[in-house]
Amino acid sequence: MPQRYNITSMLIDKKWKQRPGSNRIPRYAVAHDTGNEGSSALQNFKYFNSRELDASAHVFIDDQEVLMIIPLHEKAWHVRKQVSDANDWAIGVELCYGGKISGEEAYKRYVWFFAWLCESYEWNPMLHVKGHFQLDPGRRRDPVNALQRIGKSFEDFLGDIKDRMAIIKREGKGEPVVNENKCDRFYRVQIGCFEQKENAEKLVRKAKKAGFAAIIHVDVSS
């Protein structure tokens, strides 16, 4: 059975200009790679949560986790506004690669997350998933840079998303789908605060067995 993955929400502080806010329903997604070989999802969170920056993205994915640092309904600065409306309407997703990161494992999570997005928002990946290189061809080559390292083209990537969407449809409730577009309201339940990550993960496993959504939320905002 194909692996299912959790989405970890670890939000950068609202005080930074790279988290500009807003409240929109996303219209499409943009595939990026970090361009910074060997940097993990967590390292990118720490970087974007430490100083004022002119760029950001919603999600960073490596071989260990799918890490959301800006809520999907908010804006992020991930494509030049001169070439696209992506900052206003798109979800920016960054693939971490190189160094000690397993390209194959990171790619599995990357494909899964885009399939999850397309299922959640009822998108066609051929129409609603764009590569950064397509939106800003004179300056950018991502995520082709990272995909080529594991023998994948952007067309392969889109095909793999479609294949994974078919699995999600077939397995139904097995995937942790949170559909912000269709839910009238959400309820947040805080079930603990821990100094040791393993203790938090133990309680998350218990919560999942009890039927709670597989979303781990760690908010470091003040």
- The domain segmentation of the chain, as residue ranges, is 7-219
Specify the DSSP class assigned to residue 100.
T
Q: What percent of the chain has pLDDT above 70?
A: 77
pLDDT reading at 150 higher than 50: yes
Specify the pLDDT at position 221: 47
Q: What are the beta bridge partners of residue 92?
A: 30
pTM as predicted: 0.79
Q: How much is the average pLDDT of 66-87?
A: 97
Domain 7-219 falls under CATH 3.40.50.460: no
Distance CA 213, CA 191 (A): 13
Q: How much is the average pLDDT of 19-24?
A: 96
Q: CB atoms < 10 A from the CB of 118, how many? A: 23
Confidence of residue 212 (pLDDT cuts 50, 70, 90): very low
Specify the pLDDT at position 208: 47
β-strand pairing of 66-68 with 59-61: antiparallel
- Give the pair of three-digit tokens for residue 103: 């390209």
Q: How much is the average pLDDT of 23-51?
A: 98
Question: Helix %, strand %, coil % for the chain, to 5?
Answer: 35, 15, 50
For tokens 């997604």, the residue is 29
Longest dimension (CA), the chain: 50
Q: What is the pLDDT of residues 89-101, one digit of tens each?
A: 999 999 999 999 9
For tokens 């989405």, the residue is 7
Answer yes or no: are the C-beta atoms of 33 and 94 closer than 8 Å.
Answer: yes
